[in-house]
Amino acid sequence: MSLFRLFQSRICALCHDPAESGSLCAVCERHLLGLHGRTDCLCPRCFAYSAGGSVCPDCESEPPPLEAVWAGMRYEAPVPAMLHRWKHLGNGAMARAFWQIMRQTPPPWLAECDAVLAMPVSRVRRLERGFNQCDELAALIAAEYGLERLPHDAVLRQHRPPQSTLNRAERARNIRRVFRLNAHLAGKRIVLVDDVMTTGSTLYALAHTLNRGGAHTRVWVLAKNQN
């Protein structure tokens, strides 16, 4: 390793102070871990507040297609800025920093799963951005926990406007029939990996597609937006 790369590897991705190990200094790591918070008061099916950590009334009355949801952090500062730097500016240090937090806060049910699938992006979006950030997270999860990494074309996605530009009603319409199963996944117990969960409409649409193909789906997102 060159001296330059060695120097880079010991600098915190957030504050640029020395980092003894990983991509975050102890202070920034502690702050991001604090965004994980308590999970014993969250619904296991949607990760919304629920007293005692029981299934919430909404999920009881209308069970979502996902068997479980888990988030590494709340979508609060500095997560949005970090994600922008990674997703739109290609800053790989943010990916390493996020993974440093995620691997310390894995879902309690991960051992019950056997495969991992990154949230698919359309061919147009992949060409525009140059990569799919969720592919990187899925690869890290698969390697760390010995899960099968499903290919990115196992599910195909039509090109539509970005969900982040739409309101709740528009998001629901925009995501209808956007996914198409392109592999035999019956019986697979799949962890879906995404960066941010807001309304859940995209993840629910993907889960419906996989469930119709006989798969069982849970999700591990980098961050959950509670707004």
Instruction: Give the pLDDT band of residue 167 (cuts 50, 70, 90).
Output: confident
As for how many domains the chain has, the answer is 2
Neighbours of 27 (CB within 10 A): 13
Q: Indicate if 60 and 14 belong to the same structural domain.
A: no
| Residue 108 sits in the same domain as residue 212 | yes
Least confidently predicted of 4-8, 46-50, 73-77, 218-222 = 4-8
Task: State the CATH number of the domain containing residue 60.
Answer: 3.40.50
Tell me the three state secondary structure of residue 53.
helix
Same domain, yes or no, for 10 and 55?
Answer: no
Question: Residue holding tokens 């996020």?
Answer: 98
pTM: 0.90
Residue 101 and residue 13 share a domain: no
Distance CA 88, CA 130 (A): 10
Range of the structural domain that residue 6 is part of:
1-34
Mean pLDDT of 55-62: 94
pLDDT at residue 166 is higher than 90: no
Task: Compute the distance between CA of residue 54 and CA of residue 137 in angstroms, rounded to an integer.
Answer: 28
Pairing of strands 216-224, 155-157: unpaired
Least confident of 127-136, 159-168, 170-179: 159-168
User: How many CB atoms sit inside 10 A of residue 36's CB?
Assistant: 16
Q: 83 and 15 in one domain?
A: no
Residue 14: per-residue pLDDT: 93
Q: If pLDDT is split at 50, 70 and 90, which confidence band does 162 have?
A: confident
Statement to judge: residues 27 and 132 lie in one domain: no
